[in-house]
Amino acid sequence: MSTQNQSYQETLDFLYSQLPMYQRIGPAAFKKDLSNIRALCEALGHPELRFPSLHIAGTNGKGSTAHMLAAVLQAAGWRVGLYTSPHYRDFRERIKVNGRYISRRQVVDFVERCRPLCAGIQPSFFEITVAMAFDHFAGQQVDIAVIEVGLGGRLDSTNVILPELSVITNISFDHMDLLGDTLPLIAAEKAGIIKSGIPVVVGETQAETRPVFLQKAEAMGAPITFADQHFRASQRRVSLTHTTYDIYREGQLLYKELELNAHGPYQYKNLQTSLQSLEWLRPPFQVTETQIREGLYHLRNYTRLLGRWQVLGEKPTVLCDSAHNEAGMELAMGALQNIEYQALHIVLGTVSDKDPAKLLRHLPRSARYYFARPDIPRGHDAKLLQKKAGAMGLKGRAYSSVRNALRAARRCAGPKDLIYVGGSIFVVAEVVR
């Protein structure tokens, strides 16, 4: 291992082991105020105020929506920062400028610079990672940055920016121990990103949450719109690389056969949200139809999108997806019914601080299951998951790792079968490439 790579690995070890990390320890890593990130930003010279930004929250779809917006803005010629979480394979996936990961050297240098601050402030993994993103985007002099909320909104570390636009994709049940156990309570946390006078786009109109957003927007003097009240994306066809939609605005055909370099049963919602957001962007960040088509057609090239309804192999088809809560899994399983296959194999893993029953009840009894624990401390024991699934009529075996489970599924599957890998982002992280 080169000296530089060794230094980078030591830096990652410090980030993972010294700082509380939600992926590893769960809710204990979540800070219930913004004091740490504010202290970090102040010590760094307030990088979060040195670039325009878009702020994206929501239960499902915020990552895909962030990638769509970044891709179109890049196609329009802007230098675009993109912050998302969590990462799949490489820590640096979280922080990109025009699709290029932050360099190993820049990660090492930032952490070395911040070690004295960490000793005093004691930030979480997420807090220092957000500060790193802000510092990188400011240093790279991005024209605009697309910032995805990590968890919730009101108390999320990203919520110190003053964006050009706030976007909330939708509300569903997830992280209820932290955000509340009703949709209005969860919506109130997400609505915490709404800022005084800054326009807000909500992706989906939901009866229980709409009043929450309207009330918060009115209190903040923020113009608000609901994307699905104006835009409708109607799917035309699907190929191995693209999904094609006709886009209607106010019932009138706006874009015929718009090609999106992404798949998934939920992408039409994210597309509607993205198009409404682009329409509501204020000068100078307006885009043309040509730029929208270009950005969405080359989405993965522009942004290096991973893990969302991604095909990993053929004969048998191996499909991975990051759906990890009740609403996402319901959509995913519904979409599988539109795919032709002889038999369905599901490689499944979850995290221990979520009730797996809420996912399991949306899974088909006709599938063959391969249960595995994702390789993080929060991973749900595979044998225990197997037992819970078996009680709900879902039959299969437990395996020592996600990769071993996938190998077993490949051995058992015929060339015309379908293997679905999911249940948790951390399951997908072990197989995606």
pLDDT, tens only, 189-205: 899 999 999 999 999 99
What are the residue ranges spanned by the domains of the chain? Answer: 3-303, 310-428
Order of strands, sheet of 418-422, starting from the edge strand that comes earlier in the sequence? 310-313, 317-320, 418-422, 344-348, 368-372, 396-399
- 26 DSSP 8-state letter: G
Residue of 340, 342, 326, 348 whose CA lies nearest to 396: 348
Measure CA of the first residue to CA of the last residue in the chain; give whole Å. 22
Tokens at 368, concatenated: 């063959």
Q: What are phi and psi of 315, to 5 degrees?
A: 55, 65
pLDDT at 21: 55
324-332: average pLDDT? 82
Given this model, what pLDDT does residue 175 score? 47
The torsion of the CA quartet 248, 253, 257, 258, rounded to 10 degrees, works out to: -50
What is the SS3 assignment for 249? strand
Residue 363: CB partners within 8 Å, gap ≥ 6? 329, 333, 346, 348, 389, 394
Which residue in the block uniquely carries the two structure tokens 């002099």? Answer: 141
Q: How far apart are CA 347 and CA 368, in angstroms?
A: 9
Q: How far apart are CA 52 and CA 166, in angstroms?
A: 12
Q: Cα separations (Å) of 79 from 74, 76, 138?
A: 6, 9, 12
Tokens representing residue 117 in the block: 């601050």
The confidence band for 259, taking pLDDT boundaries of 50, 70 and 90, is: very high
With H, G, I as helix, E, B as strand and everything else as coil, classify residue 307.
coil
CATH class (in words) of the domain with range 3-303: alpha beta
Q: Assign a CATH topology to domain 310-428.
A: Protein-Tyrosine Phosphatase; Chain A (3.90.190)
How far is residue 180's CA from residue 431's CA, in Å, rounded to a whole number? 32
Residues of the chain above pLDDT 70, percent: 93
The pLDDT > 90 percentage for the chain reads 69
Q: What is the pLDDT of residue 265?
A: 77
Q: Which amino acid is at 410?
A: R
Among 170, 231, 226, 172, smallest CA distance to 199 is for 226
Residue in 328, 94, 174 with CA at minimum distance from that of residue 190? 174
**Are the C-beta atoms of 170 and 203 separated by less than 8 Å?**
yes
Residue range 109-128, pLDDT digits in tens: 999 999 898 888 888 889 99
More confident residue, 388 or 6: 388
17 pLDDT band (50/70/90 cuts)? confident
Q: What is the spatial order of strands in the sheet that 252-260 belongs to?
A: 231-238, 243-249, 252-260
Mapped onto helix, strand or coil, the DSSP state of residue 107 is helix
Q: What is the pLDDT of residues 68-80, one digit of tens each?
A: 999 999 999 999 9
